[in-house]
């Protein structure tokens, strides 16, 4: 009673490459000496969801400076972030997946191998399955409206799929886990969201294009439902570059799987594939590239101030003070 509600900081926005939209500020000299890794990882254990979210968002920015990554790895950052993929708070799940995603992108092959060795795929697989269940059912994780809840579940799924994509692209062991865990079905469910969430569908399409390349074990798991979902995307007629890109990526995945197409579906599927590629090649790159660049510029300038940042110092202090008060009251 009587305590003011903390302002909630805006979560960082992640680009398709796994990096936040805004540029990352360099550490000050004193921060380099103290190293923020230990402090941020300690905050991941906070009972306050806002503090955990703040720490994950901060880590996702900090690890973009590759010289900071060893400090996080030495302190078991992967094992600290892994359980937060299944945190009760959806925003924490999203920022934890984003932090791991950035770590996998900026750390390269060796870091991805290390993440897989530390069994990050176990909580990641569980998260993806929960997300797909949440697409069609209202989760009780947050007291939000059904629309807000669903959008947040899809946002979490998008970060998780991108992390999965990075790991499978860099690590053959991750690809083996993908096959054994039956994650193809998860990607298809994310791909099916394209009428409602193009960003998630494109992430799934990119991941599928990667995991389907020269993956004979995966080809043995294909079924009529999977092929039907891919054909449905190929035969869709939605306009716009997002849909064209989605159909092109799907066509690439179908081509990777062409050896296992049933004989009675080969003609129809390959005809849809050729039509998709023809449509892509018909695009006028001279007109298209400037238009895409302009759209990207407009989007970047439309991001509200602080959207890619963390909570400011005062907000962080308020969160920590409230956390201490709650502990004292307990």
- Of 305, 289, 288, 202, the closest CA to residue 245 belongs to 202
> In this predicted structure, what is the pLDDT of residue 320?
54
Q: Note the pLDDT tens digit of each residue in 273-315.
A: 787 777 777 777 777 777 767 766 765 554 333 333 333 444 5
Q: Note the pLDDT tens digit of each residue in 41-51.
A: 999 999 999 99
> In this predicted structure, what is the pLDDT of residue 166?
96
> In this predicted structure, what is the pLDDT of residue 222?
84
> In this predicted structure, what is the pLDDT of residue 326?
52
Identify whether the C-beta of residue 156 lies closer than 8 Å to the C-beta of residue 200.
no
- Interhelix angle 184-191/121-136, nearest 10 degrees: 40
CA distance 330 to 328: 5
Check residue 140 and report its DSSP letter. Answer: S
328: phi then psi, degrees, rounded to nearest 5:
-65, -40
- Of 74, 18, 6, 15, the closest CA to residue 46 belongs to 6
Kindly state the tokens that stand for 186.
Answer: 């998860």
> In this predicted structure, what is the pLDDT of residue 267?
78
- Positions in the chain whose pLDDT score sits under 50: 1-10, 14-33, 138-140, 143, 302-314
Output the pTM of the full model. 0.78
SS3 sequence of 164-225: HHHHHHHCHHHHHHHHHHCCHHHHHHHHCCCCCCHHHHHHHHHHHHHHCCCCHHHHCCCCHH
């Amino acid at each position: 009673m009587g305590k003011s509600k903390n302002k909630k900081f805006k979560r960082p926005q992640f680009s398709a490459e796994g990096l936040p939209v805004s540029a990352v500020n360099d550490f000050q000299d004193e921060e380099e000496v103290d190293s923020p890794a230990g402090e941020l990882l300690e905050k991941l254990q906070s009972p306050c969801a806002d503090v955990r979210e703040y720490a994950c968002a901060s880590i996702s920015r900090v690890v973009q400076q590759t010289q900071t990554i060893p400090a996080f790895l030495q302190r078991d950052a992967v094992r600290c972030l892994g359980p937060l993929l299944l945190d009760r708070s959806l925003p924490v799940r999203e920022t934890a997946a984003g932090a791991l995603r950035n770590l996998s992108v900026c750390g390269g092959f060796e870091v991805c191998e290390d993440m897989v060795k530390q069994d990050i795929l176990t909580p990641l697989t569980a998260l993806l399955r929960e997300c797909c269940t949440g697409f069609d059912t209202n989760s009780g994780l947050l007291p939000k409206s059904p629309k807000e809840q669903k959008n947040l579940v899809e946002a979490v799924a998008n970060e998780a799929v991108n992390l999965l994509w990075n790991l499978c692209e860099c690590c053959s062991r991750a690809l083996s886990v993908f096959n054994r865990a039956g994650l193809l079905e998860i990607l298809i469910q994310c791909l099916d969201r394209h009428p409602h969430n193009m960003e998630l569908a494109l992430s799934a399409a990119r991941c599928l294009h990667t995991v389907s390349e020269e993956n004979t074990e995966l080809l043995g798991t294909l079924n009529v439902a999977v092929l039907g979902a891919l054909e449905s995307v190929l035969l869709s007629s939605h306009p716009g570059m997002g849909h064209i890109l989605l159909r092109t990526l799907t066509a690439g995945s179908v081509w990777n799987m062409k050896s296992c197409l049933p004989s009675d579906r080969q003609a129809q599927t390959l005809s849809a594939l050729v039509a998709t590629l023809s449509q892509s090649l018909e695009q006028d790159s001279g007109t298209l590239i400037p238009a895409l660049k302009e759209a990207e510029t407009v989007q970047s300038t439309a991001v509200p101030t602080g959207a890619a940042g963390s909570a400011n110092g005062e907000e962080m202090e308020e969160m920590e003070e409230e956390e201490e008060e709650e502990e004292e009251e307990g």
